[in-house]
């Protein structure tokens, strides 16, 4: 923040800790040359309300909250902070997996009701984990899970990095779903917004599978997931992202679903790093524009 105050005039600072509505965002960016962006949706209307805008610098790695067609037409630069989110999102993914397998949230709620009923948990060691998307975060998750003694399989047509020989590339998403005990999503949104885990694919998963999503809410057909949880096809899920947020839908009715409100990357350490990088990105673009 100090760097930003030194080199720029701050016209709006969101201190509410809540996502701005489209109307509020239009008012906030009206006179801006650059924006430090959170998870608000930068729609074509918002972009149109900011005639001077040169750069949107995201605190985070995703750009699906930004109308990329609108910014491209205007020549507005979009910057992200992809490195800082890797470790916190990977750790959050592991935390969700363990919470589901061990029933942590169910036990916690029961003990607060003075209910000390005990049921058997499940080991993570020895499980086959399917990873959809082997980018920076997916790779880190796979590395951590390997240390737990998991077998790793993955699908990612763009994955070109060297992977450990023990990790297996699945022939298709269907093959991965049929053979995995746990599936964790680390892919970007599909171009058409359709889910990777569709109703059809839920019909082909290994029965009792656990689903984890810390990537994008659009990757899962939530109605199909609810049906699969109800009939036992899916035994549990750990979800940090949803198609509509804040989420208040039917998946919260299932005690075997551990839900968090899109906070996987929100640690003190990573948040500070992302904010510093976002400021540096914004200042670099605006300085370049002045030359």
For 49, residues 6+ apart whose C-beta sits below 8 A from its C-beta are: 26, 27, 29, 30
Q: Give, in degrees to the nearest 5, the angle at Cα 210 between 100 and 106.
A: 25
Active site residue 23: no
Active site residue 203: no
Half-sphere exposure of 5 (CA within 13 A, CB side): 3
Residue-wise DSSP of 53-65 = --EEEESSS--TT
Residue 229 CA to residue 111 CA, distance in Å, equals 24
Of 262, 271, 275, 276, the active-site residue reads 262
DSSP helix/strand/coil, 122: coil
Residue 222 CA to residue 201 CA, distance in Å, equals 13
Considering only CA atoms, which of 43, 52, 53, 51 is closest in space to residue 23?
43
Of 23, 200, 245, 288, the active-site residue reads 245
Of 58, 92, 140, 216, the active-site residue reads 216
- Integer CA distances (angstroms), 193 to 58, 93, 189, 220, 274, in order: 21, 23, 6, 10, 26
Active site residue 288: no
Residue 240 CA to residue 107 CA, distance in Å, equals 20
Total residue length of the chain: 291
Cite the active site residues. Answer: 216, 245, 262
């Amino acid at each position: 923040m100090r760097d930003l105050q030194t080199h720029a005039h701050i016209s709006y600072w969101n201190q509410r800790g809540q996502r701005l509505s489209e109307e509020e965002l239009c008012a906030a960016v009206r006179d801006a040359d650059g924006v430090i962006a959170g998870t608000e949706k930068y729609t074509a209307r918002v972009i149109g309300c900011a005639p001077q805008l040169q750069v949107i610098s995201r605190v985070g790695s995703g750009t699906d909250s930004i109308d990329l067609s609108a910014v491209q037409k205007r020549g507005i630069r979009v910057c992200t902070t992809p490195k800082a989110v890797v470790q916190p999102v990977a750790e959050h993914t592991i935390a969700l997996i363990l919470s589901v397998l061990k029933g942590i949230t169910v036990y916690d709620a029961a003990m607060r009701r003075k209910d000390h009923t005990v049921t058997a948990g499940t080991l993570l060691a020895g499980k086959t984990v399917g990873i959809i998307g082997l980018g920076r975060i997916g790779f880190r998750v796979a590395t951590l899970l390997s240390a737990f003694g998991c077998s790793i399989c993955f699908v990612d047509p763009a994955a070109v990095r060297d992977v450990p020989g023990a990790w297996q590339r699945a022939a298709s998403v269907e093959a991965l779903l049929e053979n995995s005990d746990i599936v964790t999503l680390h892919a970007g949104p599909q171009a058409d917004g359709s889910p990777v885990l569709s109703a059809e694919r839920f019909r082909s998963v290994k029965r009792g599978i656990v689903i984890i999503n810390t990537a994008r809410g659009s990757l899962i057909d939530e109605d199909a997931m609810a049906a699969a949880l109800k009939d036992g096809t899916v035994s549990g899920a750990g979800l940090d992202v949803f198609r509509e947020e804040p989420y208040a839908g039917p998946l919260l009715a299932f005690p075997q679903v551990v839900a968090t409100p899109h906070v996987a990357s929100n640690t003190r350490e990573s948040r500070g790093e992302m904010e510093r990088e976002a400021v540096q990105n914004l200042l670099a673009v605006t300085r370049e524009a002045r030359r």
